[in-house]
Structure 1
Amino acid sequence: MTTASSTNQTALGDNPYLLLTPGPLSTSKTVKEAMLRDWCTWDKDYNELVQSIRSRLVELAGASTDEYTAVLMQGSGTFSVEAVISTVMPSEGKLLILTNGAYGNRIAEITRLYNIEATVLDFGEVVPVSSEAVDRILAEDKNITHVIFVHCETTTGMLNPIHEITSIAKRYGKTIMVDAMSSFGGIPLNIQELHIDYLISSANKCIQGVPGFGFILARTNSLQMCKGQARTVSLDLYSQWETMEKGGGKWRYTSPTHVVRAFDQALKELAEEGGVEARYARYKNNQQLLVSGMSRLGVEALLQPEVQSPFITAFQFPQSEHFSFEELYARIKQAGYVIYPGKISAADTFRIGNIGEVYPEDIENLLQVIADNRFW
């Protein structure tokens, strides 16, 4: 298992800086090394590796391969989100979009471009999705067939109440789609218990792989009903799944072979760390150390602890005319750390992620760097 000391050496030795972002993120040296071998997309060994990854993803979600399947999709996580929406939504369907940030708004944009009927329930940027509001709208609008929302909205670091939302949507018999891009693999989730029909995530998030493909965990009998519904060729989720099933791990079009191999290594390292529960504990500890340390430096978190995710935290600008995010960014980057600018309109913020190969000593070192370079 990778240790904190080896992580620091990798991040600040082989690489110019440690990424404190919500993904892409800093990966282990062994994940990087996994990409040094070339793979043929038609080779049996490679296709068997793909099949192994698919089954392990289903197991990671606490589901049975008898009921759920995994589909890998080339491109960024948004490609997989679009693949689900453009394939799963029938022409006569209506989608309820629950949003409180940029990534929920992106779902709404995709839906508009495909002329899919939808209702957008927008909770702003700093308020979690309200289960009571979801209950009300589903009771009022009988035409809604599908519900989609973002589990962890990295615009702010908001963690939406997934258990409450899915329970209500299930009670009304809706098909449930969850963008778990920044949460899957980093927080315990049981897709069967949550009644989720489609869960979407990406290789370069909490499983700690590198960018290049996303994946969809789908209820098999629901996906089988989507044949012929796709509105695109390359993002046809059903055809991608059918090809992988019939071809024993074959992708329809050229697959990101090196990225797949790195992801296999990342899955092994997740298991070696102790699984999702252990990784969640590390991330949570990182985040709590970060928030308490930043508070001592006069920088407060935007969100209340009860709705804050353990993956990324939005911080409010200090109340000082001397503060400049660009100056802070430049100073800590020079010391070997990269953070994120803010992404909300309601307040001046910046964000710091703590997922990837990031350990408590990395957070403590960052806080010392900020303290040493404090100019507000």
Structure 2
Amino acid sequence: MSALGNKKLFTPGPLGVSLTTRQALLKDLGSRDTEFINTVSFIRQKLLDIAGVSSHSFTCVPMQGSGTFAVEAVLTTTVPRTNGKVLVLENGAYGKRIGQILKVLGVENTVLSFDEDKSIDVGVVKDHLRKDSLYTNVSIVHCETSAGVFNPVSKIGALVKKYIPDAYYFVDAMSSFGAVPLDLEDSNVHFLVSSANKCLEGVPGFSYAIAHKESLLQCKGRARSMSLDLVGQYEGLSKNGQFRFTPPTHTMLAFKQALIEHEEEGGVVGRANRYKKNNAILKDGMKKFGFKELVNDNDQGYIITSYHYPKNSNFNFQDFYARLNDKDQVIYPGKVTTADCFRIGNIGHLYPEDMTNLISCIEEVCRDMNMSLPLVE
């Protein structure tokens, strides 16, 4: 077992965090304590800084719960109660989840689906908007971790601005924010959501929306949920700096420390550079072993990489997974519906030496399973 009994998590989340971030959890503060209120204020401003936007035009609204809570909060808050219609661009499980949320909310929507192993096709979206521009909202996932695909957020944003300029453009940046550069204003993004326990390397427990302030205030009274009302949450924070309901105090204390460490590493660029190095080591090692990637280089990002099951009679994913887990190396099963594959993440508190060790462990496991390397199709 690793130091402190922790395994290395090569997953899209939950992710490993630094010891100093974990230590920040050990302090008890009341939700109305001045220090905690200042912590919330620090976090909200720092997230705007990371997003590269000003507090004059944008605001940050933290929400209790996982990333999906923030996704649903944006949808329930921003879609008009009358004549609301959402265009959902999906190429994986998380885009599909947006469609599922809208179905539960009873919101009219069109789900435009694309191959799970490819980026969303800008040309197809353009043709669709030329034929049907009666949308009040458009949603997209920045990094679809079902397969590891990066989607063209900026290009789609330009189409939204051109063909439906009054529509709100919503980006699920759960697994990209903090490590993948994105110019929100240039990309016409009105609402973006992410989670504490992704590229910013905090612990799970809350999510947040980066919201265009004017657009957010236009949505007052639309929410179909009291606790997930982003406008209500924003107004509460603006009034006294406090959450309307019990806040995740310990999680936010840890997140403050994680944000300090993010800045010390060089912000978005510094974090991206480490993840890119991690990804390069993974891809090089797996290629030498003969594992085949699911996504081509043009569509794939550096957050998580999917690999086809090898065509080897001795390969069994559950056995492969268990043997790696016994070595404290935790990978993830695939989430695409069209191929048998598994996923390996490069994000969280992982460094190049961790990736090198993972590659060594994979080599040992393959040989223990009587799989000769390199693999032969």
Q: TM-score, normalised by structure 2?
A: 0.95
Total equivalences in the alignment: 365
Report 1:74-93 matches (<5 A): 74-91=64-81, 92-93=83-84
Tell me the secondary structure at the aligned position of residue 38 of structure 2.
helix
User: Which residues of structure 2 form unaligned runs of 5+?
Assistant: 372-377
1:347 to 329, 333, 339: 339
Distance 1:79 1:289 in 2: 34
- How far does residue 170 in structure 1 lie from its aligned partner after superposition? 1.5
Report 1:115-130 matches (<5 A): 115-130=106-121
- 1:22-64 residue CA offsets vs partner (Å, 9 max, x unmatched): 1110100000000000010011111111011101111111101
Is 2:52 the counterpart of 1:62?
Answer: yes
- 1:157-216 residue CA offsets vs partner (Å, 9 max, x unmatched): 111111211111122213100000000001112212211000000000000001000000
Letter in 2 for 1:283: Y
- How far does residue 135 in structure 1 lie from its aligned partner after superposition? 1.1
- How far does residue 142 in structure 1 lie from its aligned partner after superposition? 2.7
2:326 is matched with 334
Distance 1:143 1:213 in 2: 33
- How far does residue 124 in structure 1 lie from its aligned partner after superposition? 2.7
Letter in 2 for 1:135: K
Distance 2:130 2:5 in 1: 53
Cα pair 2:292 2:308 within 8 Å, conserved: yes
1:31 is matched with 21
- How far does residue 343 in structure 1 lie from its aligned partner after superposition? 1.0
Is 2:270 the counterpart of 1:288?
Answer: no
Cα pair 2:202 2:251 within 8 Å, conserved: yes
Report 1:350-365 matches (<5 A): 350-365=342-357
Cα pair 1:176 1:198 within 8 Å, conserved: yes
- How far does residue 246 in structure 1 lie from its aligned partner after superposition? 0.8
1:144 to 114, 117, 135: 135
2:201 to 181, 184, 208: 208
Letter in 1 for 2:362: I
Cα pair 1:291 1:300 within 8 Å, conserved: no
Distance 2:150 2:133 in 1: 28
Letter in 2 for 1:14: L
Letter in 2 for 1:238: V
1:316 to 308, 322, 346: 308
- How far does residue 16 in structure 1 lie from its aligned partner after superposition? 3.3
Is 2:9 the counterpart of 1:19?
Answer: yes
Is 2:212 the counterpart of 1:219?
Answer: yes
Is 2:361 the counterpart of 1:369?
Answer: yes
2:31 is matched with 41
Distance 2:280 2:89 in 1: 28
Is 2:149 the counterpart of 1:158?
Answer: yes
1:133 is matched with 124
- 1:92-141 residue CA offsets vs partner (Å, 9 max, x unmatched): 22110000000000000000111111111000312211111111111111
Tell me the secondary structure at the aligned position of residue 305 of structure 1.
coil
2:230 is matched with 237
Cα pair 2:332 2:343 within 8 Å, conserved: yes
- How far does residue 344 in structure 1 lie from its aligned partner after superposition? 1.3
Is 2:74 the counterpart of 1:114?
Answer: no
1:189 is matched with 182
Tell me the secondary structure at the aligned position of residue 61 of structure 2.
strand
Report 1:248-327 matches (<5 A): 249-327=241-319
Cα pair 1:287 1:310 within 8 Å, conserved: yes
Distance 1:309 1:88 in 2: 29
- 1:197-252 residue CA offsets vs partner (Å, 9 max, x unmatched): 000000000000010000000000000011111101111111001100111x2001
1:6 is matched with none
Instruction: Name segments (4+ residues, structure 1) moved above 2 Å.
Output: none
Distance 1:189 1:264 in 2: 22
Distance 1:62 1:297 in 2: 40
Distance 1:350 1:63 in 2: 36
2:374 is matched with none
Cα pair 1:93 1:143 within 8 Å, conserved: no
Q: TM-score, normalised by structure 1?
A: 0.95
Tell me the secondary structure at the aligned position of residue 232 of structure 1.
coil
Percent of counterpart pairs with the same letter?
Answer: 45
Letter in 1 for 2:20: T
Distance 2:130 2:171 in 1: 20
Tell me the secondary structure at the aligned position of residue 298 of structure 2.
helix
Cα pair 2:191 2:210 within 8 Å, conserved: yes
Cα pair 1:300 1:316 within 8 Å, conserved: yes
Cα pair 2:80 2:136 within 8 Å, conserved: no
Tell me the secondary structure at the aligned position of residue 306 of structure 1.
coil
